[in-house]
Chain A
Amino acid sequence: MLHSLGRRILLGFVLLIFLPIVAALFIPLLFKYLKGIHTGWFVLFVPIALFIYYAGFITTTMDGGHKVSELQWIPSLGISFVSYIDGLSLLFTLLITGIGALVVLYSIFYLDKDREKLNNFYIYLLIFMSAMLGVVQSDNVISLYLFWELTSISSFLLIGYWNTRDRSRFGALKSMMITVFGGLMMLGGFVLLGIMGDSFSIRELIANSSSFIGHEFFTLALILVLLGAFTKSAQFPFYIWLPDAMEAPTPVSAYLHSATMVKAGLYLVARFTPIFAVSEVWIWLVTGIGLLTLFWGSLFAVKQTDLKAILAFSTVSQLGLIMSLLGASAVAYHSDDAIFKFAAFAAIFHLINHATFKGSLFMIAGIIDHETGTRDIRKLGGLMSIMPVSFTVAFIGSMSMAGLPPFNGFLSKEMFFQSMLALRNFELFNFATWGILFPVIAWVASVFTFIYSFYFVFKTFTGRNKVDKLPKKPHEAPVGMLVAPVILATLVVGIFFIPNLVGKWLVKPAVMAIQPGLYSHPSEVDVHVAAWHDFASPELWMTIALVGLGVVLYLTMTKWRKLYDIQPHYLSLNVLYDSMMMLSENGMNRLSRFYMTGLIRTYLMYMFAFIASITTATLFLKNAFIVDMDSFTAVSVYGIMTAIILVAAVVMVILAKTRLAAIIALGAVGYSVSLFFVIFKAPDLALTQLVIETVSVALFLLAFQRLPALKTHGETKRNRLGNAIIAAAVGITVTLVALSAHSQKMIPSISQYYKDTVATEAGGGNIVNVILVDYRGFDTLFEIAVLAVAGIGVLAMIRLQLARKEAKDENK
């Protein structure tokens, strides 16, 4: 598939994706032999070097260009590692490496070098970094999936870093189950896309996307890819793993669960917008689920009492906000209204802003935990004077999160309102009737966002001083720990003042990747971010109103927060998840206990019943049951007599009360079979059957002497009736198959050849014997082998028993 384009192998910066993994190989050595230095210092070089290197690509993407580097992996299947860097992937790459560097710096002071298993931590972190770079840079969907699952695995390892704690293991498993479920669905979507577009390359898929519309797989592929994005980006109802992932060390929460990994789903949606945006299902799902998540997350963030849980729900909510904006940006494919192009800009802009303020807030939550020993907001308070720097950073981050000036969150919130207000008037796919809901939900969610932002910062840092009751005596964090959050907070304020520069460098090239058909150069993205519109703009009044209501609600919080108790415990999504897990585990247990009884009889009954029913059903459903009386030979008197004897002997075998009677009856069956061989002109068979039957009977007699008497072992009538029914079914099936098989001979027997050539070719007269030793001598060779093995087996079974008995005797 890839060869058709005649691409040549462009090795180059694609190898940089693997740089962190290669660096991880050295971590155990550094950790073991350089005990004196915190391992994190060595790790720090990797993201810094990558950040500086990738920053050099900005000039390319600003001009709407891109760079490609390829490493063939499985060319015959069209699978390769392709690093494709355009505005969108560069933006994510810079977030991953930039925040990665800050998080590593922070972790150096957060994790104690003597008490923690730093080698594990940094190996996982570096694997994660590689995986994330791979996700955002891959042009090949299969390698994208590979890296996607690698982020799930490394995230699993990082959440379970303190693996002696139950909650850590539970959180790690939960996130693994949900994200890997989504990942597998996504793989299905990718395969369907590959079938539709005959390529695994995202660029080629985008180029061919016009032919996908109306394809039978299109909507299915869309939903499967979205499942992957929604589970990874913690959208409703899959967000439940994120709050439990807060058991991870705080640097991990800051890095994976706010700034990078949870945005992989957003990246996926943005990346595939050019393919799927033509579908109304896409717009409905992305916008609708995004808004629902925004609302739900902000609502429940207010309920939390743990600092990191507040931030987790806040992350869920903000991811929903970005998701809904991405959904709105897809409308640009249906409408010329400039506002929907604007939505893509707003989404990317808020994505950057969220990474800055949420990263810093997580780090502050970690500092508070580190310095006071608790993250419970009910035990905290009045830390402002003790931890002034942390307070400043937390204040900046929270106010940005709440959407107040002069912080970058304000700008993106205004743009968000503007986009949602535009959806109100949009009349595509019957949006008109529902449209008013969009700005209303968005506004209410923003009020709650405002409340929990205030709640987070003021309940922690102001109010009554409870310092005496804290587990540790609090003091300001060490300088090293504060560097990273301070840098992020500086960015929060900085972006507010230079939004258009950020827009030009990072956002507009990314927007061009989301809406490639609409622009030929990033500068055509006609958005100018302004902090001030005028008094007539509705979003300004929406902001003023939300601040007013937010302040009132925040001050009266203790009164109405009891409303959360209305929701009964058993009606939560976590309980649903837990019971689903329990149900599948217990259900599977019960199912296998039900059909795996451990009894041979049960399994034989399954087999016989299936053989009989499937064969008979096939016979009649395919109209294969035909009896051709003309093909039958005449009935002989001897035949009838022998048959009567045989059937009588068979009945005797079943009815026999003693061992001896059963053996004799079985012998009678054998001898009548050899009589049949005589009647049917098979002298060699008759001879062999006679001898073998005699030997067998002797053998039976020998063995039976050492075996117990025939007993029914108290078999119930019901058991025997069941056996009889299945036995009758099998017998009848065999008869029916035999009759119809004999009646429908398709080709003549090969035996004519044997008859013709036995004398000339083999020089023999007995055709059966010549077949056995000449024409088909191999059968005979291995039948001899079977006899030999059986003989050795018999010998071994008897001998080994003796050997063990002797050993037992010696022990005595």
Chain B
Amino acid sequence: MELLMAIVIGILFMAAVYLILSRSLLKIILGTGLLSHGAHLLILTMGGLGGTSPPVLADGVTDYADPLPQALILTAIVISFGVTAFILVLAYRTYAEHKTDDMNLMRGDDEHD
């Protein structure tokens, strides 16, 4: 299963990087969304996919899934949600101010440094 997951994660990263490198601001945000999914799945997979029961104490169960990666991912999900919400509004504001979402038009120039 880990081999399959590693490939899926690779595809997620691939797609994320491809989108992040594009010129459209929207695609970049879509890319960051995919990137965080990839990262979350990566943490889970690296923790090991063994375990037959969820990490909630129950009588007679000894083979729990690893709880630590789950806790880490939970934190990461919330943080990436916060960041995504922020950059979404940032993109909206950028578009409202500059009337463009073309990254090439938003380049810095020498006069302003």
Contacts and interface: CB of A to CB of B under 8 A. Distances in A.
Interface in B7-28: 7-27
Contact of B56 (A640, A689, A765): A765
Interface string B55-85: 1111000001111101101110111011111
Q: Which of A599, A683, A734, A742 has the most CB of B within 10 A?
A: A734
B42 to A, nearest CB: 6
Interface of B: 1-27, 30, 33-34, 37-38, 40-42, 44-58, 64-68, 70-71, 73-75, 77-79, 81-86, 88-93, 95-96, 100-104, 106-109
Interface stretch (A200-208, A462-470, A476-484, A785-793): A785-793
A60 B71 CA distance: 80
B42 A734 contact: yes
A776 B67 CA distance: 12
B31 to A, nearest CB: 9
Contact of B68 (A673, A689, A749): A749
B95 A708 contact: yes
A599 B23 CA distance: 10
Contacts of A727: 13-18, 21
Given A681-B53, A751-B68, A710 B17 contact: no
A699 B45 contact: no
6 cross-chain pairs, A with B, having the tightest CB-CB distances, nearest first: A731-B14, A735-B10, A790-B82, A727-B18, A598-B107, A767-B67
A755 B64 contact: yes
B30 A653 contact: yes
Contact of A599 (B47, B81, B104): B104
A684 B9 CA distance: 21
A755 B5 CA distance: 25
B91 A654 contact: no
The number of chain A residues touching the other chain, given as a range, is 35 or more
A707 B71 contact: no
Given A723-B21, A790-B86, 19 more contacts: A599-B104, A627-B3, A636-B1, A643-B4, A653-B15, A653-B30, A666-B30, A696-B33, A706-B95, A707-B26, A707-B95, A711-B102, A735-B10, A742-B48, A755-B64, A764-B57, A765-B56, A787-B79, A790-B82
Given A639-B1, A646-B8, A731-B14, A688 B92 contact: no
Interface in A787-803: 787, 789-791, 793-794, 797-798, 801
A582 interface: no
Interface string A577-606: 000000000000000000001111100110
A730 B13 contact: yes
Interface string A628-672: 010111111001100100110011011000010010001001100
A646 B91 CA distance: 26
Given A666-B34, A727-B15, A730-B13, A703 B78 contact: no
Contact of A738 (B17, B46, B93): B46
Contacts of A601: 21-23, 103-104
Given A673-B41, A739-B3, A688 B74 contact: yes
Contacts of B84: 696, 699
Contacts of A425: none
Interface string A719-751: 010111011101110110011011000000111
Contacts, number: 279
A808 interface: no
A787 B83 CA distance: 8
A738 B45 CA distance: 8
B74 A768 contact: yes
A544 interface: no
A598 B107 CA distance: 5
A682 B54 contact: yes
A749 B57 contact: no
A26 interface: no
Interface centre among B2, B19, B38, B44 (most CB of A within 10 A): B2
A769 B64 CA distance: 14
Given A727-B15, A735-B7, A685 B91 contact: no
Given A681-B52, A688-B77, A798-B89, A787 B24 contact: no
Contact of B2 (A599, A633, A682, A724): A633
B77 A738 contact: no
A703 B88 contact: yes
Given A632-B3, A682-B70, A797-B93, A673 B37 contact: yes
A51 B91 CA distance: 74
Interface string A98-123: 00000000000000000000000000
Contacts of A598: 107-109
A45 interface: no
B68 A681 contact: no
Contacts of B3: 627, 629, 632, 635, 739
B67 A699 contact: no
A734 B89 contact: no
B66 to A, nearest CB: 5
